[in-house]
Amino acid sequence: MKAKEIKLKNFKPREFIQKKVGEISSLVGRGFAINALSGGVDSSAVPILGHKALGKKLKTYFINNGLMREKEPETVASIFKRLGVGVEVIDARSEFFSALKGITDPEDKREAITQAFYKNVFGRLVKESRAKFLLQGTILTDIDETVAGIKRQHNVFEQLGIDPQKAFGYKIIEPLIGLRKDGVRKVAEALGLPKSLSERIPFPGPALSARVIGEATPEKIEIVRKATAVTEEELSRVDAFQYMAILHNDRVTGIREGKRDFGMQIEIRCWDSLDARTAKPTRLPYDLLEKLVRRITKEVKGVVSVTYNITEKPPSTIEAV
Ligand code: XMP
């Protein structure tokens, strides 16, 4: 089944919200639903929409999979608390790291994340909460690339012939399925999400494991997490669609305190894009790049080389994995 695209030309976010609230409410009926936040704009819009439709019949979780950005669980949970949506943080770090153990192939990694999310963690939460529905923020771009066989986005099932009810024991509701990122931002704004969320750069479901080339071990995730914090801090002043730090698998020879240091490499990407279908690297000021490199090599232990990627999408994709 192909999700129908909602064009932005005459898009009215408030009417869209009203329609979706009605649909969610009639689908769930007297039942219960759950949903999970990942810190990106799509997953942040869904609980507000769901909350409008279901009130207490929706339970929102933040799955701490160990792959999130610095201070993310606390920050996101406190923003939603202020918005009147309670968020329960679930510690699933060991489940995700054992699912990722020994996996180096990008698609196998994505599949491991998908199974850990949907089968193990949500499967358990659905049983405990007796929910029959999972609300999630899948958007059109996720589907396009999965169906085209470019990347298996962590949250796409039906279009691959997978019935979540049979595979995991619950139904999935996807209110944002007709939209792309620019449309979701309009909805997020109309839902009253603070700009820090509605304008937040996208962040993928597989989180920092999509930013480690090769096996995503806890140690490597920690390194990319630190590099991400510095990168986001420095590039937040730039008006870009998305930016990120990627940890490479190969090491290179560097020098530290006059001695040879066979160290790690970080790649920076910063994208200009409207809807993530195509993207161009941002023409960052050289001074800013130099500052970023100085900070990463100083603050992220073991990194001796930092590069800035200027390849367009296509042939690149936005994330490295
Ligand atoms: P790519 O790397 O495919 O990314 O050019 C396009 C956009 O999608 C985000 N992305 C994901 N989002 N689940 C998500 O929810 C995923 O598995 C996933 N993979 C990539 C990516 O950050 C970019 O904005």
pLDDT at 1 over 50: no
| Cβ(276) – ligand 1 distance below 6 Å | yes
Give the separation between CA 247 and CA 231, rounded to whole angstroms.
Answer: 13
Give the separation between CA 86 and CA 82, rounded to whole angstroms.
Answer: 9
The ligand 1 atom at the shortest distance from the C-alpha of residue 320 is: 2
In eight-state DSSP terms, residue 200 is P
The ligand 1 atom at the shortest distance from the C-alpha of residue 181 is: 24
Query: pLDDT by residue (tens digit) across 8-67?
Result: 888 999 999 999 999 999 999 999 999 999 888 999 999 999 999 999 999 999 999 999
Using CA positions, which residue lies closest to atom 24 of ligand 1? 202
Give the separation between CA 52 and CA 71, rounded to whole angstroms.
Answer: 27
Q: Do the Cβ atoms of 94 and 233 come closer than 8 Å?
A: no
Query: pLDDT by residue (tens digit) across 261-295?
Result: 999 999 999 999 998 999 999 999 999 999 999 99
Number of H helices, E strands in the chain: 12, 10
Residue 58, domain CATH:
3.40.50.620
Helices (H), 116-194: 122-129, 140-147, 164-168, 181-190
The pLDDT of residue 145 is 87
Q: Are residues 228 and 272 in the same domain?
A: yes
The pLDDT of residue 118 is 94
With b for 16 or more beta-carbon neighbours within 10 A and e for fewer, the 281-297 pattern comes to: bbebeeeebeebbebbb
Classify residue 207: in a domain, yes or no. no
The ligand 1 atom at the shortest distance from the C-alpha of residue 154 is: 17
| Residue that has been written with the tokens 């620019």 in this structure | 182
Determine the average pLDDT of the residues in 169-183: 95
Q: Are residues 55 and 145 in the same domain?
A: yes
Residue type, 207: A
Mean pLDDT of the chain: 95
**Least-confidence region, from 32-36, 148-152, 235-239, 263-267:** 148-152
pLDDT at 68 over 90: yes
pLDDT at 304 over 90: yes
In eight-state DSSP terms, residue 116 is I
171: Cβ–Cβ under 8 A, 6 or more apart, which residues? 27, 132, 133, 134, 164, 165
Q: Do the Cβ atoms of 209 and 221 come closer than 8 Å?
A: yes
Instruction: Give the chain's domain count.
Output: 2
pLDDT at 320 over 60: yes
Is residue 2 very low, low, confident or very high in pLDDT (cuts 50, 70, 90)?
low
Give the separation between CA 106 and CA 215, rounded to whole angstroms.
Answer: 9
Q: Which of 165, 198, 231 is the last residue of a domain?
A: 198
Query: pLDDT by residue (tens digit) across 197-219?
Result: 999 999 999 999 999 999 999 99
Using CA positions, which residue lies closest to atom 17 of ligand 1? 153
Helices (H), 191-217: 195-198
Q: Are residues 181 and 86 in the same domain?
A: yes
Q: Are residues 160 and 133 in the same domain?
A: yes
Give the separation between CA 298 and CA 42, rounded to whole angstroms.
Answer: 34
The secondary element (H helix, E strand) that includes residue 67 is none
Residue 292, domain CATH:
3.30.300.10
The pLDDT of residue 188 is 97
Give the separation between CA 171 and CA 24, rounded to whole angstroms.
Answer: 12
Q: Are residues 221 and 112 in the same domain?
A: no
Range of the domain at 236: 212-308
The pLDDT of residue 3 is 79
Å from CA of 255 to ligand 1 middle = 35
